[in-house]
Amino acid sequence: MSDGTFEPKIVGFLCNWCSYRAADLAGSSRVKYPPNVRIIRVMCSGRVDPTFALKAFELGADGVLLAGCHPGECHYLEQNYKAMRRFSMLKHTLRAMKLEEERFQLLWASAAEGNRFAEHVAKMTDEIRKLGPLNWPRNWIEKGVGDKEIEKFLKEHEEAMEVPAR
Protein backbone atom coordinates (compact mmCIF):
# COMPACT_ATOMS: atom_id res chain seq x y z
CA MET A 1 0.00 0.00 0.00
CA SER A 2 2.88 2.34 0.75
CA ASP A 3 3.78 2.80 -2.92
CA GLY A 4 0.21 3.76 -3.73
CA THR A 5 -0.77 0.63 -5.67
CA PHE A 6 -4.12 -0.84 -4.90
CA GLU A 7 -4.10 -4.09 -2.95
CA PRO A 8 -7.49 -5.81 -3.05
CA LYS A 9 -9.02 -7.23 0.08
CA ILE A 10 -10.51 -10.63 -0.65
CA VAL A 11 -12.51 -12.58 1.90
CA GLY A 12 -12.16 -16.31 1.40
CA PHE A 13 -14.61 -18.82 2.86
CA LEU A 14 -12.78 -22.15 2.91
CA CYS A 15 -14.19 -25.48 3.96
CA ASN A 16 -12.44 -27.29 6.77
CA TRP A 17 -11.91 -30.57 4.95
CA CYS A 18 -10.48 -29.72 1.54
CA SER A 19 -9.89 -26.13 0.59
CA TYR A 20 -8.63 -24.97 3.97
CA ARG A 21 -6.21 -27.87 3.91
CA ALA A 22 -5.22 -26.89 0.39
CA ALA A 23 -4.37 -23.43 1.74
CA ASP A 24 -2.52 -25.09 4.60
CA LEU A 25 -0.56 -27.21 2.17
CA ALA A 26 0.26 -24.18 0.06
CA GLY A 27 1.66 -22.59 3.21
CA SER A 28 3.62 -25.57 4.49
CA SER A 29 5.09 -26.27 1.08
CA ARG A 30 6.09 -22.59 0.83
CA VAL A 31 4.16 -21.86 -2.34
CA LYS A 32 4.25 -18.14 -2.97
CA TYR A 33 0.91 -16.45 -3.47
CA PRO A 34 -0.47 -12.96 -2.78
CA PRO A 35 -1.47 -12.24 0.83
CA ASN A 36 -4.67 -10.51 -0.28
CA VAL A 37 -7.08 -13.25 0.71
CA ARG A 38 -8.36 -13.19 4.30
CA ILE A 39 -9.35 -16.72 5.08
CA ILE A 40 -12.36 -17.67 7.15
CA ARG A 41 -12.63 -21.37 7.85
CA VAL A 42 -16.09 -22.88 7.78
CA MET A 43 -16.96 -26.52 8.33
CA CYS A 44 -18.38 -26.90 4.84
CA SER A 45 -18.89 -24.74 1.78
CA GLY A 46 -22.56 -25.60 2.20
CA ARG A 47 -22.47 -23.62 5.45
CA VAL A 48 -21.82 -20.41 3.54
CA ASP A 49 -25.05 -18.48 3.49
CA PRO A 50 -25.27 -15.77 0.80
CA THR A 51 -25.54 -13.38 3.76
CA PHE A 52 -21.83 -14.00 4.46
CA ALA A 53 -20.75 -12.86 1.01
CA LEU A 54 -23.13 -9.90 1.04
CA LYS A 55 -21.87 -8.89 4.47
CA ALA A 56 -18.29 -8.97 3.23
CA PHE A 57 -19.14 -6.65 0.34
CA GLU A 58 -21.22 -4.46 2.67
CA LEU A 59 -18.18 -4.04 4.89
CA GLY A 60 -15.93 -3.08 2.00
CA ALA A 61 -14.37 -6.28 0.64
CA ASP A 62 -13.13 -6.04 -2.94
CA GLY A 63 -13.80 -9.69 -3.64
CA VAL A 64 -15.22 -12.86 -2.11
CA LEU A 65 -13.88 -16.34 -2.74
CA LEU A 66 -15.90 -19.42 -1.90
CA ALA A 67 -13.93 -22.66 -1.86
CA GLY A 68 -14.92 -26.22 -1.13
CA CYS A 69 -14.24 -29.88 -1.88
CA HIS A 70 -14.61 -31.06 -5.46
CA PRO A 71 -18.17 -32.02 -6.41
CA GLY A 72 -18.78 -35.55 -5.29
CA GLU A 73 -16.05 -35.41 -2.66
CA CYS A 74 -17.79 -33.43 0.07
CA HIS A 75 -17.06 -34.55 3.61
CA TYR A 76 -20.79 -34.12 4.25
CA LEU A 77 -21.75 -36.10 1.14
CA GLU A 78 -23.45 -33.51 -1.03
CA GLN A 79 -23.49 -30.19 0.76
CA ASN A 80 -21.03 -28.68 -1.68
CA TYR A 81 -23.65 -29.15 -4.37
CA LYS A 82 -25.78 -26.82 -2.29
CA ALA A 83 -22.86 -24.41 -2.23
CA MET A 84 -22.69 -24.71 -6.00
CA ARG A 85 -26.39 -23.87 -6.38
CA ARG A 86 -26.25 -21.03 -3.88
CA PHE A 87 -23.20 -19.62 -5.61
CA SER A 88 -25.00 -19.72 -8.93
CA MET A 89 -28.08 -18.07 -7.44
CA LEU A 90 -26.17 -15.32 -5.65
CA LYS A 91 -24.02 -14.72 -8.69
CA HIS A 92 -27.18 -14.24 -10.75
CA THR A 93 -28.41 -11.62 -8.27
CA LEU A 94 -25.05 -9.86 -7.94
CA ARG A 95 -24.82 -9.64 -11.71
CA ALA A 96 -28.15 -7.79 -11.65
CA MET A 97 -26.70 -5.50 -8.99
CA LYS A 98 -23.94 -4.64 -11.45
CA LEU A 99 -21.13 -6.33 -9.56
CA GLU A 100 -18.26 -7.42 -11.77
CA GLU A 101 -17.96 -11.18 -12.41
CA GLU A 102 -14.41 -11.44 -11.10
CA ARG A 103 -15.29 -10.18 -7.64
CA PHE A 104 -17.19 -13.30 -6.58
CA GLN A 105 -15.60 -16.61 -7.44
CA LEU A 106 -16.00 -20.29 -6.67
CA LEU A 107 -13.10 -22.72 -6.41
CA TRP A 108 -12.98 -26.45 -5.84
CA ALA A 109 -9.69 -27.51 -4.27
CA SER A 110 -8.88 -30.80 -2.61
CA ALA A 111 -6.53 -31.12 0.36
CA ALA A 112 -3.76 -32.10 -2.03
CA GLU A 113 -4.17 -29.09 -4.29
CA GLY A 114 -2.11 -26.41 -2.56
CA ASN A 115 -0.79 -25.22 -5.88
CA ARG A 116 -4.21 -25.00 -7.43
CA PHE A 117 -5.40 -22.88 -4.50
CA ALA A 118 -2.37 -20.59 -4.66
CA GLU A 119 -2.69 -20.14 -8.42
CA HIS A 120 -6.37 -19.31 -8.16
CA VAL A 121 -5.77 -16.72 -5.44
CA ALA A 122 -2.99 -15.17 -7.51
CA LYS A 123 -5.22 -15.02 -10.57
CA MET A 124 -8.18 -13.62 -8.69
CA THR A 125 -6.06 -11.00 -6.93
CA ASP A 126 -4.66 -9.94 -10.25
CA GLU A 127 -8.09 -9.66 -11.85
CA ILE A 128 -9.46 -7.57 -9.00
CA ARG A 129 -6.38 -5.40 -8.89
CA LYS A 130 -7.09 -4.52 -12.52
CA LEU A 131 -10.72 -3.70 -11.70
CA GLY A 132 -9.77 -1.36 -8.88
CA PRO A 133 -11.35 -0.95 -5.45
CA LEU A 134 -15.00 -1.84 -5.01
CA ASN A 135 -15.78 0.08 -1.83
CA TRP A 136 -19.45 -0.81 -1.87
CA PRO A 137 -20.43 1.50 1.03
CA ARG A 138 -19.47 4.42 -1.19
CA ASN A 139 -22.54 3.56 -3.26
CA TRP A 140 -24.72 4.98 -0.48
CA ILE A 141 -23.03 8.33 -0.22
CA GLU A 142 -25.18 11.07 -1.70
CA LYS A 143 -23.12 13.05 -4.10
CA GLY A 144 -23.62 16.77 -3.62
CA VAL A 145 -25.90 16.72 -0.60
CA GLY A 146 -25.14 16.84 3.04
CA ASP A 147 -26.48 18.20 6.27
CA LYS A 148 -26.28 21.67 4.70
CA GLU A 149 -29.22 20.98 2.37
CA ILE A 150 -31.24 19.66 5.26
CA GLU A 151 -30.35 22.65 7.41
CA LYS A 152 -31.40 24.90 4.54
CA PHE A 153 -34.84 23.36 4.76
CA LEU A 154 -35.09 24.10 8.43
CA LYS A 155 -34.41 27.75 7.76
CA GLU A 156 -36.78 27.89 4.80
CA HIS A 157 -39.57 26.42 6.85
CA GLU A 158 -39.00 28.96 9.57
CA GLU A 159 -38.95 31.86 7.13
CA ALA A 160 -41.91 30.74 5.06
CA MET A 161 -44.17 29.95 7.95
CA GLU A 162 -43.55 32.84 10.24
CA VAL A 163 -46.78 34.79 10.48
CA PRO A 164 -47.38 37.47 13.10
CA ALA A 165 -49.09 36.02 16.14
CA ARG A 166 -52.45 37.54 16.83
Partner 1 sequence: MSDKGKLALYWAASCGGCEIAVLAINEKILDVANAFDIVFWPCVMDGKVRDIEKMPDKGLDLCLFNGGIRNSEQEYMARLLRKKAKVLVAFGSCAHEGCIPGLANMNSRDEIFQFVYKDCPSADNPKGVLPEVETKVSEGTLHLPFFYDTLKTLGQTVDVDYYLPGCPPEPERIWDAITAILTGKLPPPGSVIGAETTVCDECPRKREEKKIKEFKRTWQVIPDTEKCLLEQGIVCCGIATRAGCGALCPQVGSPCIGCYGPNAGVEDFGARMMTAIASVIDSNDPEEIDRIIQEGIPDPVGTFYRFSLAHSSLRRSNRAGNGKPAAKEEAEVSGR
- The residues that touch partner 1, with contacts defined as CB under 8 A, are 49-51, 54-55, 57-58, 71, 78, 81-82, 84-86, 88-90, 92-93, 96-99, 131-136, 138-140, 142-145, 149-150, 152-154, 156-158, 161
Shortest reach from residue 100's CB to partner 1, in Å: 8
When the beta carbons of 24 and 100 are compared against partner 1, the nearer one is 100
Cα separations in angstroms, 58 against 17, 38, 154: 28, 16, 32
Shortest reach from residue 87's CB to partner 1, in Å: 8
- The CA angle 142-135-58, to the nearest 5 degrees, is 90
Shortest reach from residue 30's CB to partner 1, in Å: 33
* Cα 87 from Cα 114, distance rounded (Å): 22
The span from the first CA to the last CA of the chain, in angstroms, equals: 67
Shortest reach from residue 72's CB to partner 1, in Å: 8
When the beta carbons of 25 and 53 are compared against partner 1, the nearer one is 53
Which H or E element spans position 26? helix 19-28
